[in-house]
Amino acid sequence: MSWWLLHVDMDQFIAAVEIRRRPELRGLPVVVGGSGDPTQPRQVVATASYEARAFGVHSGMPVRAAYKKCPEAVFLPSDPAAYEAASTEVMDTLRSFPVVVEVWGWDECFVGAETDDPEALALELRTAVAARTGLTCSVGIGDNKTRAKLATGFAKHERSHAEPFEGAAGGAGVYRLTADNWRSVMDHRPVRDLWGIGPRMERNLAELAITTVAELAAADLDVLKKRFGPKMGTWYAALGRGLGDTQVTDVPREPVSRSHEETFTTDLVERADVERELRRIATEVTQEVIAEGRTIQRVSVKVRFITFYTPIKSRKLPEPTQDPEVIATTSLLLLEKFELRRPIRLLGVRVEFVPGSTS
């Protein structure tokens, strides 16, 4: 038997959890986010059902904007405890199989398994999740995590289109992407289709005349290293060839940071108000970190202005600490680096831990 990587990604997870406990919402446009009141400002969509997405609603957009696009949608408040519980149901279902499950979030995980028929295993997993939880998922099959993750996107495409996807392998809801079909499926695609390449990196690569996956795979490694550094340059070169990690572990990943962000109902204008709120946020996040027995080595401050320009400044501490006053003072020192010429809608503080710093 061979070692396979399967990426399991739940379909419209948060919306699906809400629909599971409110079956009358099935088939309706559903938007989840904030308090569930679309008239309230400064709220963001957590997820939208496929029916709502057809109107252009998507996660991350303001709830008010979602209401303008789809006023007939059902708007619901976020319920993290319910999503956590549903996620546990899903992961426990997957763990009932002779596989290794590496959780990456509420709605996704990697599954490592030895099998001669990964498509059959993927079907078993999908069937079991649906039967035990009432939720559905798509499964990407790969010979590493990179290809398995990308394959899931194609699996979802298969489920939503009548015609088979180019290079299809696995059937609706399941797709296999390996070294055997990587080039035929991916070579002609834009680099933004790769896992880990966003708009900014797409622009950076375009400046090197690299716009497709094939061009990235064939790029001069020295050129990539010079532009992006030895580590990232090598990583991008490997990404263009579909290379990736093949290890799956069921050991929970240790968090490396914690952050608090707050979007204010009224923009902050006076500097004294900004400093007061920043100190409060820094203190709150530090107290949570102390409660977990962790020690802080770096602090970052995020400021989002009314223009949505969102700069971030950070500083490594002279020595690790658990002192809230040190973190608050450092946050205020970082604030000095910002030009506070416009009202502020959001403040955030992120603290990075010393590795292994738990009591």
Over residues 180-209, the pLDDT tens digits come to 999 999 999 999 999 989 899 999 999 999
As given in the structure block, the two tokens for residue 19 are: 């629909």
| Spatial separation of the C-alpha atoms in residues 152 and 109, rounded to whole Å | 11
Alpha carbon of residue 78 to chain centroid: 17
Radius of gyration of the chain (CA): 23
As given in the structure block, the two tokens for residue 333 are: 């020192």
DSSP state of 315: E
What average pLDDT does range 245-257 have in this prediction?
87
The per-residue pLDDT for 252 is 77
> How many C-beta neighbours within 10 Å does residue 265 have?
10
The per-residue pLDDT for 244 is 93
Equal fold, 1-182 vs 187-240: no
What average pLDDT does range 65-79 have in this prediction?
94
Cα separations (Å) of 195 from 3, 32, 89, 190, 204?
22, 26, 27, 12, 16
What average pLDDT does range 250-270 have in this prediction?
89
Q: In terms of CATH, what superfamily is 187-240? A: 5' to 3' exonuclease, C-terminal subdomain (1.10.150.20)
pLDDT of 224 higher than 90: yes
| Spatial separation of the C-alpha atoms in residues 110 and 112, rounded to whole Å | 7
Q: Kindly indicate the confidence band of residue 358, based on its pLDDT and cuts at 50, 70 and 90.
A: low
> In what helix (H) or strand (E) does residue 308 lie, and over which residues does it extend?
none
| Spatial separation of the C-alpha atoms in residues 317 and 322, rounded to whole Å | 11
User: Which residues 6+ apart lie within 8 Å of 149 measured at CB?
Assistant: 7, 140, 142, 195
Q: Which of 18, 102, 108, 158 is catalytic?
A: 108
User: Which residues 6+ apart lie within 8 Å of 274 measured at CB?
Assistant: 268, 335, 340, 344, 347
Q: Which residue has the higher pLDDT, 149 or 255?
A: 149
Report whether 277 contacts 347 (CB < 8 A): yes
pLDDT digits (tens, 9 = 90+) for 18-69: 999 999 999 999 999 988 999 888 788 999 999 999 999 998 899 999 999 9
Please give the model's pTM, rounded to 2 decimal places: 0.77
- For the domain made up of 1-182, the CATH class stated in words is alpha beta
Residue 337, by phi and psi: left (phi above 0), alpha (psi -120 to 50) or beta?
Answer: alpha
Fold of 257-353: Dna Ligase; domain 1 (3.30.1490)
User: Which residues 6+ apart lie within 8 Å of 286 measured at CB?
Assistant: 296, 322, 323, 324, 327, 328, 351
Report whether 170 contacts 176 (CB < 8 A): yes
The per-residue pLDDT for 42 is 79
Torsion 58-59-61-63 (CA) sign = positive
18 noted as active-site residue: no
The per-residue pLDDT for 268 is 96
- The domain locations on the chain are 1-182, 187-240, 257-353
